[in-house]
Homo-oligomer: A and B are copies of this chain.
Amino acid sequence: MKKKITLKHIARELEVSISTVSKALKDSAEISKDTKEKIQAFAKLYNYRPNNIALSLKNRRTKNIGVIIPEIVHHFFATVIRGIEKYANNRGYNVIICVSNESFDKEVINMEMLANGSTDGFIMALSAETEFKEDFNHLREVMEQGMPLVLFDRVTNEIDCDKVVIDDREGAYSATKKLINNGNKRIALFTTENFFSVSSEREEGYKQALLDHNYEVSENLILKLDYIDMDNKPIEDFFDREKVDAVLCVNETFGIRAIRVVQEMGLKVPEDVSLIGFTNGFLSKYSYPSLTTVDQHGGDMGEKAAQMLIDRLESEDENEIYETKVLKSTLIERESTIN
């Protein structure tokens, strides 16, 4: 196997010095035309490429962006990554993706690994366990080492850094209002444990909409589901217990599972029960009936996060004023609600 060729090889082969080669390949005016041509031809022939590692060591920058997401099998995060890629590639940055798998330990390990010279900065959404433990020391350490951090979607007030979120509260508010306007009387909320920042925001929006329209807010109508466990029993029990004609779900899978349970009980969506979810993914689009959802615009979120990070990386002055960008969400109406 051919080994990678370096400046040194070229220099030895052509009997010039390494710096001559280096300069020639940069088309420096210092080097004579003859020498340059000779060196450039040779380099091309042997397919010379500068070693990124050496450059990183020298320049103290990698031109890599580290992205840590809780879960890869998830439409929303996938679209965010797409947005990041799109923007970052344009500005000459490479995107390195790692998955925390909702685990605090894995998140810390990934971060330390990437922070040790693999990336210039981070874009991340917190893992479930991190939000639960409220332990953010790994984020602080990274920032103290001078690596900028942009949090998206799953954020925390404990850390002062750039953030991109959607108006979760407003999204839930509009969705609930839509159900109210459709004439639904008893509107439930299917959510996760509220250590998820997004879930508690959405719960607020749901409650506020009910209050503003003189609906009663009842904890009995709020069902907290496990984010890992896929068992539908709690949902079935809920529908047995509570007579509701609409449900707002804080994510896509809850919505789809609710559709399923409703149908299995012999009821119809949306005639008997209207449903709205969050995250406008394939599931929502291709379920039957298709699911009305709050679109979180993952792509835009990714682009914005990448922009904030790169701007900070490339700005001269270390300004300590951080920004939180709030993107608008959009209600995508489909078959699971009455039009």
- Interface, chain A (partner B; CB < 8 A): 1-4, 47, 49-54, 56-57, 62, 64, 72-75, 78-79, 81-82, 85, 89, 94-99, 101, 109, 112-118, 141, 143-146, 253, 256-257, 259-260, 263, 282-283, 286-288, 318
On whether A54 and B117 interact (CB within 8 A), knowing A72-B82, A286-B253, the answer reads yes
Chain B neighbourhood of A263, CB < 8 A: 288
Closest partner residue, chain B, to A76 (CB atom): B73
List 8 extra interface pairs beyond A53-B57, A82-B101, A282-B283, CB under 8 A. Answer: A2-B146, A49-B115, A50-B116, A52-B116, A52-B117, A73-B82, A97-B98, A256-B286
Cross-chain contact of A282 among B47, B78, B118, B253 (Cβ < 8 A):
B253
Contact (Cβ within 8 A) B96 A96: yes
Inter-subunit contact A1/B56 (CB<8 Å)? no
Q: A79 to chain B: which residues have CB within 8 Å?
A: 73
Closest to A49 in B: B116
Residues on B with C-beta less than 8 A from A141 are 47
Task: Report the minimum CB–CB distance from A140 to chain B (whole Å).
Answer: 11
Closest to A110 in B: B94
A99 and B88 alpha carbons, distance in the complex (Å): 13
Given contacts A73-B79, A117-B53, A287-B288, contact A144 B2 (CB under 8 A): yes
Chain B residue contacts of A318, Cβ below 8 A: 1
* Known contacts A3-B145, A4-B146, A146-B1, A53 near B47 by CB under 8 Å: no
Asked whether B256 lies within 8 Å of A118 as measured between CB atoms, the reply is no
- In the complex, which residue of chain B has the Cβ closest to the Cβ of A1? B146
- Report B-chain residues with C-beta under 8 Å of the C-beta of A288: 259-260, 263, 287-288
Q: How far is the CA of A74 from the CA of B82 in the complex (A)?
A: 12
Chain B residue numbers with a CB within 8 Å of A260 are 286, 288
Q: A117 touches which one: B51, B112, B145 (CB < 8 A)? A: B51
Task: Pick the residue among B81, B89, B144, B287 that contacts A287 (CB under 8 A).
Answer: B287
Q: Which chain B residues border A81 with CB–CB below 8 Å?
A: 72, 99
Q: How far is the CB of A198 from chain B (nearest CB, A)?
A: 20
Task: Give the docked Cα–Cα distance between A143 and B3 (Å).
Answer: 10
Q: List 18 A-B contacts (CB under 8 A).
A: A1-B145, A2-B144, A3-B145, A4-B146, A47-B141, A49-B116, A52-B113, A52-B117, A52-B118, A53-B116, A54-B57, A57-B57, A72-B82, A94-B113, A94-B118, A97-B97, A118-B118, A286-B287
Q: Chain B CB within 10 Å — which of A4, A78, A117 has the most? A: A117
Residues on B with C-beta less than 8 A from A97 are 96-98
Query: How near does chain B come to A26, taking the closest CB pair, in angstroms?
Result: 17
Q: Which residues of chain B are within 8 angstroms of A78 by Cβ–Cβ distance?
A: 72-74, 78
A306 → chain B closest CB, angstroms: 14
A-B complex: 5 closest residue pairs judged by Cβ atoms: A53-B117, A52-B117, A97-B97, A52-B116, A73-B78
Chain B residues lying within 8 Å of A62, measured Cβ to Cβ, are: 53
When distances are taken between beta carbons in the complex, the residues of chain B under 8 Å from A109 are 89
- With both beta carbons as reference points, the residue of chain B lying nearest to A47 in the complex is identified as B141
**Which residues of B lie under 8 Å from residue A112 when comparing CB positions?**
49
- In the bound assembly, the distance between CA atoms of A29 and B220 in angstroms comes to 66
Return chain B residues, CB-CB under 8 Å to A75: 73
